[in-house]
Amino acid sequence: MKAFLILADGTVFKGVSIGSQREVISEIVFNTSMTGYLEILTDPSYAGEAVVMTYPIIGNYGICFDDMEDDRPWPDGFIVRELATAPSNFRNECGLSEFLKDHDIPGIQGIDTRALTKILRSQGTMNGMITTNENFDLDEILPKIRAFKAEDVVKKVTCAEKEHFSDGKYKVALMDFGAKRNIARELAKRGCEVTIYPAYTSAEEIMAAHPDGIMLSNGPGDPKDCMPIVAEVKKMFDADIPMFGICLGHQLLALANGADTRKMKWGHRGANHPVKDLATGRVYISTQNHGYVVSSKSVPDGVAEVSFRNANDATMEGLHYLGRNVFTVQFHPEACGGPQDTGFLFDKFIHMMEVAKDA
């Protein structure tokens, strides 16, 4: 069946429908990863977005449910150049198109994803519609496309109730703003007792459990839409408990301490982003997925110092809070399937808890 991707600027791409045939309007973003499409699809940080994969063939190793980062996929739509129809992998359990259809996610293949990405790079991420309706009226639908804004996405993706994930020596409260499963796995394999809390849990409830550390997870959307959460994060910060924040967690803690965030032109989404550790000068390759960033110049003097920068565009990639056992990063050290260059940051967090516990 024919399908169309209609961008907010009026550009129309014609392709073939994959997955669900439901019509959807979303923000169109691109990801430069060559593998890991299942982890991308099941990353809650993509809620409210439709993902374009720049790699030309997707789905070649099928779907393995053990590799999912959440119980379900989250993007509003999925856009590829070519969908592999005969996946080859001994772990394969179903095809990608079937997976999308089962979860009612519309997609499109057969379009020039390189041309689409060039538009998004030059003009910035923009809204778009995926539809199978051949009789669409641009004059009628363009205002609807341009008016779209993803709302309440953290509330949509967070867990409904507290969940005990693992037992261990160090008690970690993992705030679920859209947490990927591998954050809890990385903590668990380092000997942590991990309890996952819904995003809007009060600081009082968290502190009443006497955690040795607090983990602020990744998540979707504009951090400034989460000001009630920011207020609770500030209380946790003031309690002087070791904290580690990733992606949205990094942004929320920065907002809680007087810094500002801004939307990027096209964001960072992929598994090949270089970040420089300013303390050592070493560059690591990281996985990233964000459309907002903390503005470096907005960080108040004496509160925190920049610890990492993106080696491509010099945007801030990490903060170390002065006089506190607290640090945050914009990238994903829990990256699964990879790269795992920055997994040592979990060891740093464990060491912080160990020192604080023995003090």
Residues making up the annotated binding site for L-glutamine are 45, 219, 221, 248, 251, 289, 291-292
Please, are residues 20 and 101 in contact by the beta-carbon 8 Å criterion? yes
Q: Which residue has the tokens 């679920």?
A: 176
336 is catalytic: no
Neighbours of 113 (CB within 10 A): 24
317 is catalytic: no
| Given the residues 226, 273, 334, 336, the one annotated as active site | 334
Q: Which residue has the tokens 């955690």?
A: 211
Please, are residues 245 and 349 in contact by the beta-carbon 8 Å criterion? no
3-class SS of residue 106: strand
| Given the residues 268, 273, 290, 332, the one annotated as active site | 332
What lies within 8 Å, CB to CB, of 314 at 6+ separation is none
In angstroms, the CA 241 to CA 141 distance is 50
Strand 213-216 to 304-310 pairing: unpaired
Q: Is the dihedral of CA 325, 269, 292, 200 positive or negative?
A: negative
What lies within 8 Å, CB to CB, of 250 at 6+ separation is 216, 294, 318, 319, 328, 329, 330
| Given the residues 69, 192, 193, 247, the one annotated as active site | 247
Sheet order of strands, 326-329 included: 163-164, 192-198, 170-176, 213-216, 243-246, 326-329, 316-321, 304-310, 261-277, 283-294
Alpha helices for the chain (secondary structure H): 37-41, 96-102, 113-123, 138-147, 153-157, 181-188, 203-208, 227-238, 248-256, 344-358
- Cα angle 180-185-189, degrees, rounded to a multiple of 5: 160
354 is catalytic: no
User: 271, 210, 246: which is closest to 349 by C-alpha?
Assistant: 246
DSSP bridge partners of 198: 176
Backbone angles phi, psi at 259, to 5 degrees: -85, 175
Residues assigned a catalytic role:
247, 332, 334
